[in-house]
Amino acid sequence: MQKEVVFTNLIREHQGLLYKVTSIYTDNKEDQEDLFQEVIFQLWKYFDSFRNDAKITTWMYRVAMNTSITFIKKKKRRPDSVPVAEVFINESDTHDEVYEERLRLLYQHLKHLNTLEKGLIFLLLEGKSYNEIAQITGLSASNVGTKISRVKKKLKTNMTNK
Amino acid sequence: MELEELQSAWTKMSNELDQQKKLTNKIILDMTKQKYQNKFTTITKYESLGALVCFAIALFVIFNFNKLDTWYLQACGAFTLLFLIVLPVSVLSTLKKIKNIDILKGSYKENLKVYVHTKNRLLRLQQIGIVVGFIGLFFIIPVTSKIISNKNVFLNSLKTEQIITLTITLVAMAFFCNWAYKGYKKITQSAQELLQDLE
């Protein structure tokens, strides 16, 4: 029982993080909901093996991103998936056209990156340092730096060409 | 549009998300407790069904192997069996490997590598399957014809409608192989780039 309480509190606290991870690896709401559910399932499955030597969010990023790698789009929705649509996030309360357009463009550009680039730029957008990104991805910090500057250049070129 | 503007949009979205705590405890627990179907279950289900059909046909050929009374029919039978057993087993074992990727153990980089490698292998197997299926027609037809109707197609001349059907099938298969190969090439090329990026 105690475990359930701790887990649900953790998910509620960091649901935004999970929403963001699942949003960059999927192309539509339906796939995102399925991936979101899969991530929560995996987090629960491995919850006992979480050790306090890492930050809980680092662990969550890792499980969520690793789960997303193997996510396969389905043509048909499973009948037994939890209907999270009605609680799922999330249009802004305030209507800000500039912000929405930027967000739309951001996702549009992210879709053109490969899985590794997507993961790196996502963590960068999340404000993670190169060391933290290295810890989550398993790349060396210097490699992270090199690759991120390459992805930034690629994004910039894409944005200029649009 | 600058990168900084995208970053600020992301930060704004993050802040909004942090304020929206829409998931309830019940929904979270439902997600963890229900018998959640792994996404691979659906895929392996179809592959397993396909494999079962192949194995059933293989068994049928094995039990009737004595009806193949010439060395060339026996050779065709052996190739048919090889095709019906080896390919499905390889596909299923590759799918199992993807399914067993340890999400917690490996890093993002390591898991991505394993995933891309295994996915490539799966695509290659599917490609081989198409080509072998194409060639396999030449082995399967004589075998089934001999077992079911006791006719040796190598000795009987084909009727006109049989020749037409066979030609249409071969042309369709050739187009299908070409189309599948192009798709495969495109996917593996991008996978190769990703793997190089991971080195």
Q: Which chain B residue is nearest to residue A18, measuring alpha carbons?
A: B17
Same-domain status, A77 and A133: no
Pairwise CB contact (< 8 Å): B17 & A67: no
B112 confidence band (pLDDT: 50, 70, 90): confident
Same-domain status, A115 and A137: yes
B77 confidence band (pLDDT: 50, 70, 90): very high
B22 compared with A74, residue with greater pLDDT: B22
Same-domain status, A118 and A45: no
Arithmetic mean of pLDDT, A57-62 = 89
pLDDT exceeds cutoff 60 at A93:
no
Q: Which of A96-110, A127-141, B64-78 has the lowest mean pLDDT?
A: A96-110
Q: Is A54 on the interface with B (CB under 8 A)?
A: no
Domain, as residue range, for A39: 1-90
The shortest CB-CB distance from B104 to any of A46, A76, A162 is to: A46
pTM of the model: 0.73
User: Nearest CA of chain B to the CA of A127: how many Å?
Assistant: 9
Overall domain count for chain A: 2
Range B61-64 contact pairs with CB under 8 angstroms and sequence separation of 24 or more: B61/B143, B61/B147, B64/B147
Arithmetic mean of pLDDT, B162-168 = 83
A55 confidence band (pLDDT: 50, 70, 90): confident
pLDDT at residue B58, rounded to an integer: 92
Same-domain status, A62 and A82: yes
**Considering only residues 56 to 115 of chain A, which have any Cβ-Cβ distance to chain B shorter than 8 Å?**
62-63, 65-67, 69-72, 74, 76, 78, 80-82, 84, 87-90, 92-93, 99, 102-103, 105-106, 109, 114-115
Residue B144, SS3? helix
User: Nearest CA of chain A to the CA of B31: how many Å?
Assistant: 6
* Distances, alpha carbon B5 to alpha carbons A98, A102, A106, B12, in Å: 10, 7, 9, 11
pLDDT exceeds cutoff 80 at B53:
yes
A72 confidence band (pLDDT: 50, 70, 90): low
For chain A, give me the number of helices (H) and strands (E)? 8, 0
Interatomic CA distance for residues B194 and A152, integer angstroms:
17
Same-domain status, A52 and A128: no
pLDDT at residue B75, rounded to an integer: 92
Same-domain status, A25 and A81: yes
Pairwise CB contact (< 8 Å): B193 & A114: yes
Arithmetic mean of pLDDT, B26-37 = 68
Domain boundary among A68, A90, A112: A90
pLDDT at residue A90, rounded to an integer: 52
Interatomic CA distance for residues A42 and B158, integer angstroms:
58
- Which one of B2, B100, B103 makes the best mutation probe of the A interface by having the most chain A beta carbons within 10 Å? B103
B33 confidence band (pLDDT: 50, 70, 90): low
Pairwise CB contact (< 8 Å): A117 & B197: yes
Question: In CATH, what number is assigned to the domain containing residue A41?
Answer: 1.10.1740.10
Q: Which of A28-32, A60-64, A82-86, B64-68 has the lowest mean pLDDT?
A: A82-86
Pairwise CB contact (< 8 Å): B115 & A70: yes
pLDDT exceeds cutoff 80 at B46:
no
Arithmetic mean of pLDDT, B39-50 = 71
- Which one of A14, A66, A84, A137 makes the best mutation probe of the B interface by having the most chain B beta carbons within 10 Å? A66
Same-domain status, A82 and A106: no
Q: Chain-wide mean pLDDT for chain B? A: 81
Pairwise CB contact (< 8 Å): A7 & B32: yes
Domain ranges of chain B: 40-198
- Which one of A46, A49, A106 makes the best mutation probe of the B interface by having the most chain B beta carbons within 10 Å? A106
